[in-house]
Amino acid sequence: MKHHTSYLDTRGLDHSLPAFSRAVLNGIASGGGLYVPETMPQMSLAEITALSSRPYWQRAAVVFSLFGIDMDASVIEELAQQAYGAQWANSRIAPVVEVQPGTHVLELWHGPTGAFKDMALQCMPLLFSKSIQLSRERGETAENYLILVATSGDTGKAALEGFANRDHTWIAVFYPAEGVSDIQRKQMVTQHGSNVCVLGVHGNFDDCQNTVKELFGDEHFSSLLLDNHNLRLSSANSINWGRLMPQIAYYVSAYSDMVASGGVKAGMPIDVCVPTGNFGNILAAYYAKLMGVPIDRLICASNENNVLSDFIETGIYDISRRGFVKTPSPSMDILISSNLERLLYHLAGAEKVARWMDELSSAKRFEVDHATFAAIHQTFVSGWVDNDTALSTIKRVFEAHKYLIDPHTAVAWEVAERMRGDNPVLVVSTAAWAKFGDDVLKALLEVPYEGSLPGQYRGLSGFETLAAVTSIAKGSAEVPTFLKDLESAEERFPETVPAERASVERALTSWLKEQ
């Protein structure tokens, strides 16, 4: 009999010990905590390096199956093959490119929406639908699920693309109406699918995320959904374990590729630098390290919303007096890093986590004890980059290597250069440059972030901007396939609402009534 892993609650309040499928459907534990596996699986160096001869979907299936998922091995393989198939622009899915000696870039943006979120969100909806099917077969549920997603830009489109027309699920995405790029907005509001809803919110990402969390915590709203629409709530944000687990696979895969290419000798440690806002992507690298991948330091790269790099430096997480800064890397414009809770659980236990999360909620700050702070520093270091430096890094890397990166990757590149020691560094590249054409154009023209573009480049649409960038880059950059038909696509979801819970709930309820 195959052993199934149970999942624990980071705050120690949910004692149900669900298996994988139930943890994925619940999304969040009943006391507000997050699910983590009871035990962390291990891989030997030989098992890791042997993966390089396999296609990516097989590598992913090997990693997934180690987590004691309550599904047959053949089902896990089938889902992985579907998730990492022909919809990817690069058959290697998550290739590693050595851009300069000792600096390797993990390209996570070859999926259908051009962002690293595809790595998880091409897979998670398949796991989710399968989990509903299993739950129905066991007689545990007869309901359908409504997925609520708050997005700072990329997650929304990737979740919509992954969940569109999936069985037993509906999905509603909330994005900050003034806080996403022209192309990100267009990607979301043109989404196909009969089970999707997109709403612009007049506020920032944290307003969107807080609204989603409030809806999750509202029992009255939950019972209305169940009674009127036969729907339960769940989440596709990286608080959901089904979203985080697929991300671990690409770090295991990357190390096997670096060994196969001769970039590192088997067993040699690497540092990994991740541009981070919600702490999910860097946490996946931490899990890969715990599983046996020879990762030495994890370098947390922040933009001007540098609450995480401050926390890693001081042990104090404080958003009580911190304003929200607009940056060219909006996917990291986040003040409450949900996944940090998981790391703190592994280092300090549920009791302390519950207390710190209460303090964060009430006082908008918490401070970890000395032992936890020391444990963080055994693995994590951090740095942050201001807006203008992020743009000048894009230009510098392009001039030196004819390699065009987006502003999130630029943050990681700059911090990696600053913090590097003797180990080879894997810089994690999280989005295609073309998703942030305006800022990439400013970078190449050496215009500061707050500055105006020169006359002939003013007032361009997002798509005209891309053409301008490719013209300046002279053959060293091309517009990705996923953007080719976007300009002429019909906008299905023009609606925007105030950043208040009641308005969002009203808009959501009226959409559900029309279904």
CA 219/CA 45 separation, integer angstroms:
47
Q: Which of 117, 157, 186, 213 is catalytic?
A: 117
Say what the pLDDT of residue 2 is: 59
CB 486 within 8 A of CB 190: yes
CB 246 within 8 A of CB 60: yes
User: Residue 280, CB half-sphere, CA atoms under 13 Å: how many?
Assistant: 25
CB 430 within 8 A of CB 109: yes
Strand partners, 384: 302
Q: What is the DSSP string of 202-214?
A: ES-HHHHHHHHHH
Q: Taking residues 393-397, what's their average pLDDT?
A: 98
pTM (2 decimals)? 0.94
Dihedral (CA of 123, 126, 132, 136) sign: negative
Give the best-scoring range by mean pLDDT among 149-163, 184-198, 201-215. Answer: 184-198
Look up residue 100 and give its two tokens.
Answer: 């300069």
Say what the pLDDT of residue 306 is: 95
Each residue's pLDDT tens digit, 248-263: 999 999 999 999 999 9
Which element (helix H / strand E) includes 340? Answer: helix 340-348
CA 437/CA 458 separation, integer angstroms:
13
Per-residue pLDDT for 282 more than 50? yes
CA 304/CA 385 separation, integer angstroms:
6
Count helices and strands in the chain by DSSP H and E runs: 21, 15
Q: Taking residues 446-452, what's their average pLDDT?
A: 97
Q: What is the mean pLDDT of the chain?
A: 95
Q: Taking residues 118-129, what's their average pLDDT?
A: 96
CB 70 within 8 A of CB 4: yes
The type of residue at 413 is W
Per-residue pLDDT for 418 more than 70? yes
Beta strands 96-100 and 103-107 are antiparallel
CA 246/CA 284 separation, integer angstroms:
9
Among 259, 281, 270, 302, smallest CA distance to 379 is for 270
Per-residue pLDDT for 3 more than 80? no
> Taking phi first (over 0 means left), then psi (-120 to 50 degrees means alpha), and beta for anything else, what does residue 380 get?
beta
Look up residue 7 and give its two tokens.
Answer: 């999942």
Say what the pLDDT of residue 408 is: 97
Chain centre distance of CA 379: 21
How large a percentage of the chain has pLDDT more than 90? 84
Dihedral (CA of 12, 17, 18, 19) sign: positive
Say what the pLDDT of residue 481 is: 83
Largest CA distance in the chain: 69
pLDDT classification of 50: cutoffs 50, 70, 90: very high
Which domains, and CATH codes, for the chain? 96-115+242-429 (3.40.50.1100), 144-229+485-515 (3.40.50.1100), 433-479 (no CATH)
Per-residue pLDDT for 331 more than 90? no
Say what the pLDDT of residue 1 is: 40
Look up residue 246 and give its two tokens.
Answer: 């697929």
395 is catalytic: no
CA 513/CA 262 separation, integer angstroms:
58
Q: What are phi and psi of 58, to 5 degrees?
A: -70, -40
Say what the pLDDT of residue 103 is: 98
Task: Find the range with the poorest average confidence among 148-152, 272-276, 351-355, 385-389.
Answer: 148-152
pLDDT classification of 488: cutoffs 50, 70, 90: confident
Say what the pLDDT of residue 71 is: 96
> Which residues are within 8 A (CB) of 147 and not within 5 positions of it... i.e. 6 or more apart?
128, 159, 163, 169, 170, 171, 172, 234, 235, 236
Which element (helix H / strand E) includes 380? Answer: strand 380-384
